[in-house]
Amino acid sequence: MPVKFETTRMDNYLFVESSGEMSSFEDGIEYIQAQVTTASREGIRRLLLDERNLTVTIDYSDILALAEYWEKNNLQTMGLRVASMPPVDAPQAQLAYETPAVNRSIMFKVFFDRQEAEDWLLNR
């Protein structure tokens, strides 16, 4: 099952609730591009990704390739700030993405607590 998600506009951020499986580099591109498009359309730059029901089965080379792809496509210049809540029992992919993303000036951070994610997202 591919990645599915629903978005809800909150006061100051976009809440993205995801499910399904990201099993390829292409799935990752499609998933992130859809979020970027939605955020741009809504005129919002902060995203809270609830990925607790998302299974990521891509390998580390694809994770690095995603960060490189988004760097080459100037994601870091859009001013997005993204907080991710991964599955508690399998956070490896999101945690693995955090470092290469940050190294490319993409504001992305993993949280296990929604309040902490919101505080970081909204600079509280």
Q: Look at residue 57 in the predicted model and tell me its pLDDT.
A: 92
Q: Look at residue 5 in the predicted model and tell me its pLDDT.
A: 94
Question: What percent of the chain is modeled with pLDDT above 90?
Answer: 71
Mean pLDDT for 103-118 is 94
First to last CA, the chain: 37
Q: Look at residue 105 in the predicted model and tell me its pLDDT.
A: 86
Q: What is the pLDDT of residues 22-49, one digit of tens each?
A: 999 999 999 989 988 999 899 999 999 9
- Listed residue (38, 57, 115) closest to 83, CA to CA: 115
The Cβ-side half-sphere exposure at 34, using a 13 Å CA radius, reads 15
Residue 94, phi-psi category: left (phi > 0), alpha (psi -120 to 50), beta (remainder): alpha
Is pTM beyond 0.85? Reply is yes
Q: Look at residue 1 in the predicted model and tell me its pLDDT.
A: 57
